[in-house]
């Protein structure tokens, strides 16, 4: 299984990334390659992302209706399920279907993530492992070892200046805030609030632990996500929405 994963997904991504590095300016080759490849992957995944955004938006618009049903049929779970399915059907939605675009994207992101870590090869063991994944292309071998310096970062080492951690956490918070709809349910609202803070905080912490090539990829990915969100949904989404769901729905109208 691991061999198949390497053959079909990891090796092409890794070698593609190194081949891309070879045509970029030597002084920032790998940092730029991470950013460019993230953009390329994001562009390739655009149809899936758009589908996911539309589904999420439709699901969010249905929330008041669903919450009403939850209140109405709080004691009859079976009826609640039937009524909810009816609402989904009327809207032409499949509640599980909106997960598919995300599931399809996941292996691609994992491969990109693994490629960055493998190419940076910080220890002799990592470098030996890298040699097993490379094609015999001259252009790929010519980039080894990759230049891990990019701006103030050594991509093979964690960035302890906090700058990257703040950027990663900040952009992640912004992206989440743009997409998270305020909820009428106070329990759900507190959960969303906690997630909104917890995820950026966790990724900020990861940034201090992982080689900075990886947080650079997260940062690029977040920035592209924010831009996509801005242009696709036409604005800053829920960033400026008041916390009350009633006001939020009025604001959307």
Partner 1 sequence: MKIRTLACVGVFCFLALSAGGCVSSKPQGYSGVTSYAGILYLGSMDGKIVAVNPSARSQELPFPSSNGEWSYPITTLSKSMLSCSSSPTPVSIYGTPVVVDGSVCVGTYSGKVLMINPSARSQNLSFPHMRGGEWIYPRTDDVIGAIVGSPVAESDTIYVCSSDGRVYALDATYGDEKWKSDTLGDKLWSTPVVTGETVYVSTFDGHVYALSAEDGSLLPWVFEAETGFVSSPVLYKDTLIVGSFDRKLYAIETDGGDLLWEFPAANWFWAAPVLDDGIAYAGCLDGRVYALNVESGEELWELDTGDFVEKKKDHIISSPILVDDSLVVATESGNVFVVNPKTGSPERVKNPDDSQSDDKPSVDAPIWSSLCALDSMVYVRAQDNYLYVVDVAEREMKLKFCLD
Which stretches of the chain bind partner 1, using CB under 8 A?
110, 113-114, 117-118, 122-128, 131-132, 136, 138, 141-145, 147-148, 187-188, 190-191, 194-195, 198-199, 202, 206, 209-211, 214
CB of 144 to partner 1, least distance (A): 4
Q: Quote the crossing angle between the two packed helices 29-44 and 100-120, to the nearest 10°.
A: 170
- With respect to partner 1, which residue has the nearer C-beta, 98 or 112? 112
- With respect to partner 1, which residue has the nearer C-beta, 208 or 232? 208
- With respect to partner 1, which residue has the nearer C-beta, 143 or 241? 143
146: DSSP letter: P
Residues of 51-87 as b/e, b for ≥16 C-beta within 10 angstroms?
Answer: bbbebbbebbebbeebeebeeebeeeeeebeebbeee
Q: Is 151 left (phi over 0), alpha (psi -120 to 50) or beta?
A: left
CB of 240 to partner 1, least distance (A): 25
**Is the separation of the CB atoms in 168 and 222 below 8 Å?**
yes
CB of 92 to partner 1, least distance (A): 29
Q: Is 114 left (phi over 0), alpha (psi -120 to 50) or beta?
A: alpha
- With respect to partner 1, which residue has the nearer C-beta, 3 or 231? 3
CB of 207 to partner 1, least distance (A): 11
CB of 187 to partner 1, least distance (A): 5
- With respect to partner 1, which residue has the nearer C-beta, 180 or 233? 180
**Is the separation of the CB atoms in 155 and 121 below 8 Å?**
no
Q: What is the 3-state secondary structure (H, E, C) of 174-224?
A: HHHHHHCCCCCCHHHHHHHHHHHHHHHHHHHHHHHHCCCHHHHHHHHHHHH
CB of 250 to partner 1, least distance (A): 26
**Which neighbouring-strand residues pair with 150?**
153
- With respect to partner 1, which residue has the nearer C-beta, 137 or 250? 137
């Amino acid at each position: 299984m691991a061999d198949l994963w390497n053959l079909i997904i990891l090796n092409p991504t890794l070698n593609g990334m190194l081949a891309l590095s070879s045509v970029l300016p030597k002084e920032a080759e790998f940092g730029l390659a991470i950013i460019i490849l993230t953009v390329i992957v994001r562009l390739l995944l655009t149809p899936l992302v758009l589908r996911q955004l539309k589904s999420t938006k439709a699901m969010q618009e249905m929330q008041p209706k669903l919450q009403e049903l939850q209140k109405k049929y709080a004691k009859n779970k079976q009826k609640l399920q039937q009524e909810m399915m009816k609402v989904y059907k009327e809207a032409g939605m499949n509640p599980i279907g909106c997960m598919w675009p995300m599931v399809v994207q996941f292996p691609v992101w994992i491969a990109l993530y693994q490629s960055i870590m493998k190419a940076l090869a910080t220890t002799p063991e990592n470098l030996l492992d890298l040699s097993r994944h490379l094609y015999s292309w001259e252009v790929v071998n010519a980039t080894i070892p990759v230049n891990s310096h990019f701006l103030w970062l050594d991509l093979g080492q964690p960035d302890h200046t906090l700058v990257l951690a703040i950027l990663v956490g900040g952009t992640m918070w912004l992206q989440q805030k743009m997409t998270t709809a305020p909820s009428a349910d106070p329990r759900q609202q507190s959960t969303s609030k906690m997630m909104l803070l917890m995820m950026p905080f966790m990724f900020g912490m990861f940034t201090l632990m992982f080689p900075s090539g990886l947080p650079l990829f997260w940062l690029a990915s977040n920035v592209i996500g924010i831009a996509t969100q801005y242009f696709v949904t036409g604005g800053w989404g829920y960033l400026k929405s008041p916390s009350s769901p009633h006001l939020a729905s009025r604001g959307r109208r």
